[in-house]
Chain A
């Protein structure tokens, strides 16, 4: 069997699950640590908000014992919506092409409408596979466009010196790695699903590591210095 090895490595599974539970804290803490230099980057504020909501959600589900039976479903739907808003918002802020920006807005509106429609009409299931699938395809397409645009615009340095690159790689790895698993999540038996959860955990950890790299790269980037407003004896004295 393909997954024979996973059965043998229960401890590693738990380890990944444990680390992934705390992975959001890494970019969250780094953002707070470097906030003085990162505050001007709107995109990183979005990532910070995304991590904050993930942390809050995790805390809510681990600390509160008596939750309504539908809480998990509502939370999953909200997370899909919020994740899409954050990821597409980051890409929208980074893309320079105005037409592409409009396209992103248009698709986002359509997707949100679809999400609302799906939430109220679709029958209840463990995970909202179809919206996640659509979200993945949309974000992956936007991400590829952003990378393509960046590769054309950045001429004087390498693309990986730009923090946006690492954030987008984080999106792409996480979404492409979890795409099929989420798509088939409702068809898997509960025990079977756990085997695949480790894969999602790995991509989730990787995504947060890339977010953290982005924060560090942005922090280390030299900011352009503005000349002082007045330099003595340089300007003509017109008084």
Chain B
């Protein structure tokens, strides 16, 4: 009010001077605040980006390492199992076979056939381990049920699975990713947890697809998972993370409130229905 009421010349001059300076200080102050705030945010963002890149690098290394291990396993299977079998079959079917009597010839051919059958079975097993036929033909629900039945059938652990709402199938490539994650988790549980049961449930809620694995052995909580994910060990877990990244999913490790079992929850966005 003082500014507006000033009437004489010196009063107006003072108002002008003080007002101008005030406006300038206010403007410069606000601009400086915006600059420093933006710099702070920008620095923070870059640190986050750097951390993200490092994490990506670790995941990529893990994924490459895992792929190489898989190839080595395949090479070993083919070289150590299929190779000797085929070589033995070849021995039975050598050039001298024509000079031998009919009974020996028949026996050799029978033996060779047996070995070739074994080889076919072996190649089929390798192929199934690469892409389970149940998953390809009947989908995730059947493949997971099949996997759990096999575990339960071995008698080492009580395993069961239940899909509550899987009327709308995920896309095949997404199903494969989810199945690989389930396989990896189940493998980890079998190897490290010493649990007596493992139970899988599935459901959908809103636009999200959920899978939850329960087990009563030694398990991980989210902090352990995050720690292992950032360290150089825990290749399988990194593989899970990188697969989840592909399908834009998340995973949560927790211990139940009752403290009697662990829960691993996989959450991913639902697709449009797969025809």
A, B assembled together: yes
Which residues of the other chain, B, contact A2 by a CB distance below 8 angstroms?
13-14, 17
- A177: chain B residues within 8 A (beta carbon): 20, 23-24
Select which of B23, B27, B37, B42 is within 8 A of A157 by beta carbon: B42
Chain A residue contacts of B38, Cβ below 8 A: 150-151, 154, 158-159
Contact status of A159 and B34, CB under 8 A, knowing A140-B27, A180-B23: yes
- Most chain B beta carbons < 10 A, residue from A151, A157, A179: A151
Contact, CB under 8 Å: B23 / A176: yes
- For A200, give the chain B residue with the smallest CB separation: B20
Contacts A2-B14, A147-B34 known; A155 to B23 CB distance under 8 Å? Answer: no
A147: contacting residue among B12, B15, B31, CB under 8 A: B31
In the complex, A147 Cα to B36 Cα: how many Å?
12
A94 to B185, CA, bound (A): 50
Q: Does A233 contact B (CB under 8 A)?
A: no
**Contact indicator per residue, chain A 109-124, by CB within 8 Å of chain B (1) or not (0):** 0000000000000000
Task: Give Cα distance in the complex from A179 to B16, angstroms.
Answer: 9
Interface assignment of A38: CB less than 8 Å from any CB of chain B: no
Chain B, range 1-19, C-beta contacts under 8 Å to A: 7, 9-10, 12-17, 19
Determine how close the nearest CB of chain A comes to the CB of B275; give it in whole angstroms.
29
A195 to B37, CA, bound (A): 37
Interface size on B, residues (CB 8 A): 28
Interface: B41 (CB within 8 A): yes
Among B7, B12, B16, B42, find the residue whose CB has the most chain A CB atoms closer than 10 A: B16
**Pick the contact of B9 from A156, A172, A173, A188 — CB < 8 Å?**
A188
Task: Let me know if B14 and A144 touch, CB within 8 A.
Answer: no
Who on chain A is nearest to B19 by CB?
A180
Instruction: List the A side residues contacting B45 at CB < 8 Å.
Output: 155-156
A155-184 near B? 1/0 per residue, CB < 8 Å: 111111000000001001100111111011
* Bound complex: CA A187 to CA B35 (Å): 37
Q: State whether the Cβ of B60 lies closer than 8 Å to any Cβ in chain A.
A: no
On whether the beta carbons of B42 and A148 are closer than 8 Å, the reply is no
Structural contact, A144 and B30, CB atoms closer than 8 A? yes
Report the Cα distance A157→B111, complex, angstroms. 73
Please measure, in the bound complex, the distance between the C-alpha atom of A152 and the C-alpha atom of B16, giving whole angstroms: 35
Q: How far is the CA of A176 from the CA of B15 in the complex (A)?
A: 14
The reply on A199 being an interface residue by CB < 8 A is yes
A192 to B14, CA, bound (A): 12
Point out the residue from A1, A147, A173, A180 that lies within 8 Å of B16, measured CB to CB. A180
Question: A196 contacts the other chain (Cβ, under 8 Å)?
Answer: yes
When the two chains form their complex, are residues A180 and B31 in contact, meaning their CB atoms are under 8 A apart? no
Report how far A188 CA is from B28 CA in the complex, Å: 27
B26 within 8 A of A: yes
- Give chain B residues whose Cβ lies under 8 Å from the Cβ of A158: 35, 38-39, 42
B46 at the interface (CB under 8 A from A): yes
Which of A2, A158, A180, A184 is packed against the most chain B CB atoms within 10 Å? A180
User: Chain B contacts of A172 at CB under 8 A?
Assistant: 27, 31
Give B89 Cβ to nearest chain A Cβ, in Å: 43
Which of B24, B37, B42 contacts A176 (CB under 8 A)?
B24
B35 — which chain A residues lie within 8 A by C-beta? 158-160
B9 engages A151 (CB within 8 Å) = no
Give Cα A155–Cα B44 distance, bound, in whole angstroms: 9
Instruction: Across the interface, name the chain A residue whose C-beta is closest to B44.
Output: A155
Report the minimum CB–CB distance from A168 to chain B (whole Å).
9
Contact at B27–A181, with CB atoms within 8 Å? no
B9 to nearest A CB, angstroms?
A: 6
The smallest C-beta distance from B26 to any residue of chain A, in angstroms, reads 7
Query: Could you show 25 A-B contacts with beta carbons less than 8 Å apart?
Result: A2-B13, A2-B14, A2-B17, A140-B27, A148-B34, A150-B38, A154-B38, A156-B42, A158-B35, A159-B35, A160-B35, A172-B27, A173-B28, A176-B26, A178-B20, A179-B23, A180-B15, A181-B16, A184-B12, A184-B15, A184-B16, A187-B12, A192-B12, A195-B13, A196-B16
Using a CB–CB distance below 8 Å, which chain A residues touch chain B?
1-3, 140, 144, 147-148, 150-152, 154-160, 169, 172-173, 176-181, 183-184, 187-189, 192, 195-196, 199
Nearest 8 A-B pairs (CB), nearest first? A180-B19, A151-B38, A176-B23, A176-B27, A159-B38, A155-B45, A180-B20, A147-B34
Seed contacts A159-B38, A184-B12, A192-B9; 8 additional CB < 8 Å A-B pairs:
A2-B17, A151-B38, A156-B45, A159-B34, A176-B24, A179-B19, A181-B16, A188-B16
